[in-house]
Structure 1
Amino acid sequence: MARGGVRTASRGGTGREVAARCGLVARGVLYVLIGVLAVRVAFGGGGQEADRQGALQELAAQPFGKVLVWAVGVGIVCMMLWRLSEAVFGAAGPDGDKASKRATSAARAVFYGVVAFSVLSFAAGAGNRQSGDQQSRDMTSKAMELPGGQWWVGAAGVAIAVAGVVVAVQAARRTFRKHLAMTGASQGARKAVDVLGIAGGIARGTVFAAAGGFVVYAAVRFDPGQAKGMDDTLRSLAQTPAGPWLLVAVAAGLVLFGLFSWAMARWRRV
């Protein structure tokens, strides 16, 4: 089985490795920017939304911004192709050929395909200028209009929330270590990656779990307006008893997850 995993991992060759590392760098850029925007929101300086749309707007405002946005879009396409190759050929590792692993990679490929379309549409000037929160409400509303839509929305919300919990738990258990090839790396580098992976993964999982909870609540209330995108989800953290400091903590965690993505681009076993 181990030999099979290595063999399938090598089928993509250099192309798969380049795609994976470019994709991880692009993902890191988005999460760092979203985290920075969320910190601004926490301290009352939030003008742009703390989500993908806001991150792209922030990136586009920089020198050579349009080129940077296109680069991120291409990177996310690479991320999609990497996950697609895992679904077709199997992932790296001894259990990379398992059907469950292939199915997970296929789902990730679809997710990153949607993200890539959004980013490239933005880069081309043809993107949906609605906020991410409004898009979430619109999608929820359309889904609820389908036969059994309330149940489908509720199921989707549960799936997102469970995925968030799984992401956070896996980060806390440091399961990401099995994907890293850090032979020769210093002990300090290993500890730094552990900190980034744990804090970043827990923050990312928290956002997913909260967003899924809001979708479930929208389904129960049969009110699409209760669904929240990333920006509204993050802002809602400031309304908890912990106040804006919970938002600061999660926002900082998202920045760390972006840095962790860059570390993965360096050491991820592909």
Structure 2
Amino acid sequence: MAAEESTGSGIADTAEKITDGVALDVLARFGFAVLAVVHILIGVIALQVAFGGTGQAEPTGALEQLASGTAGPWTMWACSLGCGGLALWQLSEATLRYRRNAVGKRLEKAVSSGSLAVTYGVMAVTMGRFALGDGPDSGEFTRDFTRTITAYPLGLFAVLVVGGTVLGIGGYFVVKGLRRTFRPELQHFEDSRRGAVIDAMGVVGHVTKGAALLLVGLLFVVAAVTNRPSESTGLDGSLKALQDHPFGDAVLVAIAAGLICYGVFAVIRARFGRM
């Protein structure tokens, strides 16, 4: 038994050394930068919608823009590779790097990084589909996904789990922004004037991203509880629905600006942050 435990520990140590290597670090940073650009594009599209323009203010809508043009497929393959690397890095965070910590800390990291690993993995697959010319239609992606899931036994429960997971991730980003727990990720700017600006962008960006995810997760939950898949309209539908309420356009502009702030913060983090 002791020999088996020693072998398992040795394999885990070797895997941890591999994930601590330069190659995965560079790939994960590139993936983080890709997602940063996606957030900026979503924010820009949301601004266009707020001022009477058109577009799909959600990840697939942003990916449609990145995939357009002659270099689109190659861009999508590169983005998919980067997001795949980021998903692998988050998976190593959830399973390897925190295995020597206290049980409570390991569980917290397993849930947070594990959820992000799944999210980034899905993004990598979606980008791969765009590279193959089979990207999902941004306007119907979330509805189609919800309809497909609810067609299976326990489908409504699965949608409820997805909604709860998205709500949890949204809450995590809000808390991370309000408590400024992202600060250790950017110690490079901690004592500079630029650091104060970046800190403010981090707070606004994380809280806004969290709020947007809370809206999406809530719609998943409503779709599951009411057994109406059409209620799950994704980020684009939830943001556009704001326009039907008083001061909705102002709120939409604020969310768009916040998403752009998060994107800019994420670009800086991808370059200078601790991975």
> Scaled by the length of structure 2, what TM-score is found?
0.84
Give the equivalent residue in structure 2 for 1:58.
Answer: 65
Of 139, 149, 152, the match for 2:145: 139
Residue 32, structure 1, aligned to residue 14, structure 2: no
Instruction: State the distance in 1 between where 2:195 and 2:153 align.
Output: 51
* Aligned counterparts of 2:91 and 2:159: Cα–Cα separation in 1: 26
Q: Is the 8 A contact 1:9 1:92 kept in 2?
A: no
The aligned residue for residue 171 of structure 1 is 177
Deviations 1:165-201 (A, max 9, x none): 2311221111111333326x65222112211111111
Secondary structure in structure 2 of the residue aligned to 1:181:
helix
Pairing 1:49–2:56 present = yes
SS at match of 2:182: helix
Q: Distance in 1 between matches of 2:112 and 2:149?
A: 23
Q: Which residue of 2 aligns with 1:20?
A: 28
Task: Tell me which of 130, 147, 165 is aligned to 1:122.
Answer: 130
Change in Cα spacing, 1:211 to 1:52, as seen in structure 2 (3 Å) is same
CA distance in 2, matches of 1:241, 1:169: 27
1:247 matches 2:255? no
Distance change (3 Å), C-alpha of 1:108 and 1:162: closer
Of stretches 147-156 and 26-35 in structure 1, the one that deviates more from structure 2 is 147-156
2:7 maps to what in 1?
none
2:130 alignment partner AA:
F
Give me the whole-angstrom Cα distance separating, in 2, the residues matched to 1:209 and 1:253: 15
Distance 2:266 2:35 in 1: 7
Q: Residue 215 in 1 paired to residue 223 in 2?
A: no
Q: Name the CA distance, whole Å, in 1 between partners of 2:198 and 2:167.
A: 26
Aligned with 1:180: secondary structure?
helix
Q: Alignment RMSD, CA only?
A: 2.6
| Alignment gaps of 5+ in structure 2 | 1-15
Q: Which amino acid aligns with 2:169?
A: A
Letter in structure 2 aligned against 1:225? S
| Displacement after TM superposition at 1:93 (Å) | 11
Indicate how the Cα distance of structure 1 residues 167 and 111 shifts in structure 2: closer, same or farther if over 3 A, else same.
same
1:228 is matched with 233
Count matched residues.
259
AA partner of residue 255 (structure 1): I
Confirm or deny: 8 A CA contact 1:9 1:89 kept in the other structure.
Answer: no
Question: Which of 194, 200, 209 matches 1:189?
Answer: 194
Native 8 Å contact 1:12 1:85 kept in 2: no
Q: Is the 8 A contact 2:115 2:165 kept in 1?
A: no
- Structure 1 spans left out of the alignment, 5+ residues: 1-7
- Is contact 1:9-1:91 (8 Å) kept? no
Give the alignment partner of residue 205 of structure 2, picking from 196, 200, 206. 200
Pair 1:76 & 2:88 matched: no
Alpha-carbon displacement from aligned partner over 1:101-128 (angstroms, at most 9, x marks no partner) = 1343233222211110111110121323
CA contact (8 A) 2:91 2:113 kept: yes
Equivalence for 1:159: 165
How far did 1:17 drift? 2.0
Q: 1:92 to 1:230 in 2, by over 3 A?
A: farther
- State the shift of 1:207 in Å: 0.9
| Contact 2:223–2:232 (CA under 8 A) maintained in structure 1 | yes
Distance 1:147 1:68, change over 3 A: closer
What amino acid is the match of 2:244?
Q
Name the SS of the counterpart of 2:86 in structure 1.
helix
